[in-house]
Amino acid sequence: MTTAIDLPQARRILRALKATLDGITAKDPEQEVQGIALPAVDAALSAIRGLLPNSPVLSQIDDLISPAMIEGGETVRAVDVLLVVNIMFAALPREASPGPAVWSPDRPDPFRF
């Protein structure tokens, strides 16, 4: 079962996964995602994939984590999950910019926008 999420939530999830996986893979590139993290990562990535059903990039990525893998106790390398997270993050539409920077006399540093 996948739960519908919106783009801002997808970005937050991918940023959190990326930060965690960057730290893990920096220490040990062969580190595995296992245990309760496996179905959690699968649910998150499946929900995000649902936001982009027509993405030619994401359509080429088979399920990273299958139910059979979870049931069989198999693991997935963290670096593989990180690769998919980066691809998914890049496939999301760009965030809307907040608008042009405007000078204000109330800014403590008027030259820093």
Section 25-30 average pLDDT = 93
> Helix, strand, coil: what percent of the chain each, to 5?
50, 5, 45
Rg from Cα positions in the chain = 18
pTM for the full model? 0.74
Give the start-end residues of each E strand in 1-113: 32-33, 76-77
Structure tokens at 28: 């040990």
Confidence at residue 11, expressed as pLDDT on a 0 to 100 scale: 94
pLDDT more than 70, % of the chain:
78
- Which class for 5: exposed (0-12), middle (13-18), buried (19 or more C-beta within 10 A)? middle
Task: Give 54-73 pLDDT, tens digit per residue.
Answer: 888 777 776 667 777 767 77
Section 69-83 average pLDDT = 83
* Among 19-23, 52-56, 101-105, the least confident range: 101-105
